[in-house]
Amino acid sequence: MNRHPLVSIITVNYNQSAVTSSLLNSLRAITYPLYEIIVVDNCSPNDNPDVLKESFPEITLIKTEENLGFAGGNNVGIKASKGEYIMLINNDTEVPSGFLEPLVELLEGDSSIGMVSPKIKFYWDPSIIQYAGFTRMNPYTIRNRGIGYHQPDGPEYNNLCETDSIHGAAMMIPRRVIEQIGLMTEVYFLYYEEHDWAEIAKKAGYKLYYQPASFILHKESVSTGKESPLRTYYLTRGRIIYTRRNVSGYHLFISLLFQVFFSLPKNTLTLILQRKFKNMLAYWRAYLWNITHYKGIQSNPKL
């Protein structure tokens, strides 16, 4: 690389200082020469984030006065950052020493790229892929497919390529792009906000890339739990918000019909048969939130 611009590495902690410490330990070994680390504690009620600053005095620790969710917490970090490139990374990840260089080099070489994510592999088995790019979001079901998900890592996933969306667990964005398109919208709280942000970037004319020369290891859903009612609520709520923000015309009409008259009864019945009654209530609450919040979801905060 001809130069090494400052990279701001931002992660959000919520009741997981021990998990965050593992990420910070791995960051101590990275080889990229110019970076800052910002940890945003999202008002953890059952954790003492001060131990992070005591153990890792090199970080900047910011403590919010309320839980701002994924987007809000990261936005606080972005506003406090100084880097030319912003690296948002989940606290439940660990990184190899050279993970930053391929991401920075890609963005340095092509100003038309607005966002990039590395290959993401599972911490519990680094030979298995979680993310190697995303397919296009279906405008009716509002679902996409993670390329390579749960597949053994292999040469077919080592091709640098454009992707339809980036992954919220690890994504790098140039500051100049954020200055143009704005920060992540905070209406989601959890889930779908990175896909929404990616759509905004694409509408502004930027490309999204998957960079397999870089990878991270992801422990996945440490904060919310893989099948928790909390995850069910915010995933369902976010899917409908995404529909309302990013789909229009007859696509919007068909998508809402699909979600109300197919997804809602089907998932309700499935959760009842599985005796997951708390998840079922969470699923219905997500629909109710969208019914009662019919204004004010289109805003995008600026940097």
At 129-175, the pLDDT tens digits run 999 999 999 989 999 999 999 999 999 999 999 999 999 999 999 99
- Residue-wise pLDDT for 207-266, tens only, equals 999 999 999 999 975 544 467 899 999 999 999 999 999 999 989 999 999 999 999 999
Cα separation, 53 vs 104, in Å, equals 27
Across 44-61, b (16+ Cβ under 10 Å) vs e yields beebebeebeeebeebbb
Most distant pair of Cα atoms in the chain: their distance: 59
Side-chain half-sphere of 3: how many Cα atoms within 13 Å? 8
| pTM, two decimal places | 0.92
Query: At residue 8, what is the residue type?
Result: S
- Comparing 70-84, 186-200, 205-219, 225-239, the range with the smallest average pLDDT is 225-239
Q: How confident is the model at residue 125 (pLDDT cuts 50, 70, 90)?
A: very high
